[in-house]
Copies of this chain bind each other. A is one copy, B any other.
C-alpha cells in the first residue's frame, strides 16, 4: 500500500435496501416493490467519505469473489481509495446486509458474514499501517481490530476506534485492550454508555486510562467531544430534512478525522463532521450525497456564521 493519511480497517459490504408489500411467511412468496443495492460497510463508508473530503485513504476489508469487477470495486478504484491490500476470500461472497421494510415501517434484517471469516487467519497488515498516519478501526472482526490497533498504537499512529453495532462481539477484556490502545473512541449515545457500563468507568475515567478523546454522536441532537482535563465540547446538529439516517455516524467519523489530521481545532472538526453527516441523511445510502469539502465548508460557515477556518 502507498503512503496514506488514513488507513481504514473493517467491513466493506453490500447493502440491499428493499421495500416489501408484506413479509414472506413460511413457504409463501412476497413481492419486493423497490430494491436498491448500495455500497456499504462501516469501513467502506468511512474510507469513501474521507477520500472525497481530501484525505489519501487506504481500505483493508475482507471481500468475496462477488466483489471483483463489481461497481463498488470500480468506484473505490476510480475514487483513488487504495484497495491493494484487501483480503480476498476465494470461496465466500462479500459481507452483505439485507434490510426489508414493510408499509408500516417495520423492518427485518439479514446479515451475511461470508468473506469476513478471513479476518481470523489474517495477519496484522503491518506494512500498510507503517505507511499510514492514522488508522481507523470500524466494525469488523474484534480480534483482528485489537491486534491491528495495538500494533498501530505501538508505532505511534493516531488510532481511532468505533465498535458500532458490533460492540456486543467484544468481551470486557477485549474492549479494555482495544480502548487502551487508541487515541480517539467514537460511539453513539448508547454505545458510549454501554462501554462505560462494561468497563465500570465514567467517560472521565476512560480518558484517564485509554483514549485521549471520546467523541459521542447523538443523532439529531448533535455530538459531544470529551478531552482529558477539558470541558465537554457540545457540537450542534446542522438541521436538515433527514430521509435515511444510515451512514450518518460513519460520515461524521470520516469528516472529523479529515480535518483533525489537518490540524484543525476540535470545534471545527466537530462542526464540519456535523455538517457532512447532514448531507448523508438527506438521501438513501451511506455513500451517496457526499458533499465536496467546499460545499461542506460553505454550509458549515452559513450555519455557524461566526466560525472561521
* Partner-B contacts on A (CB < 8 A): 18, 20, 23-32, 35-37, 66, 69, 71, 74, 93, 96, 98, 100, 106-114
Contacts and interface: CB of A to CB of B under 8 A. Distances in A.
Given A69-B69, A69-B71, A71-B69, A35 B93 contact: yes
Chain A contact residues: over half helix, strand or loop, or mixed?
Answer: strand
A42 B308 CA distance: 61
A106 B26 contact: yes
Contacts of A106: 26-27
Contact of A109 (B24, B93, B112, B114): B24
Given A31-B113, A69-B69, A108 B37 contact: no
B108 A100 contact: no
Contact of A110 (B30, B66, B113): B30
A31 B96 contact: no
Contacts of A113: 31-32
Contacts of A69: 69, 71, 74
A27 B96 contact: no
A167 B245 CA distance: 41
Given A35-B93, A37-B93, A93-B35, A28 B110 contact: no
Q: Top 9 nearest A-B pairs by Cβ distance? A: A29-B109, A24-B108, A32-B112, A35-B112, A26-B106, A32-B110, A30-B110, A35-B93, A27-B107
A26 B107 contact: yes
A20 to B, nearest CB: 7
Contacts of A18: 110, 112
Contacts of A114: 35
Given A69-B69, A71-B69, A98-B98, A111 B35 contact: no
A24 B25 CA distance: 11
A113 B111 CA distance: 23
Nearest to A71: B69
B107 A30 contact: no
Contact of A66 (B23, B28, B32, B37): B37
A96 B111 CA distance: 18
A42 to B, nearest CB: 15
A111 B23 contact: no
B27 A111 contact: no
Given A24-B109, A32-B96, A69-B69, 6 more contacts: A27-B107, A27-B108, A28-B108, A32-B98, A37-B93, A98-B98
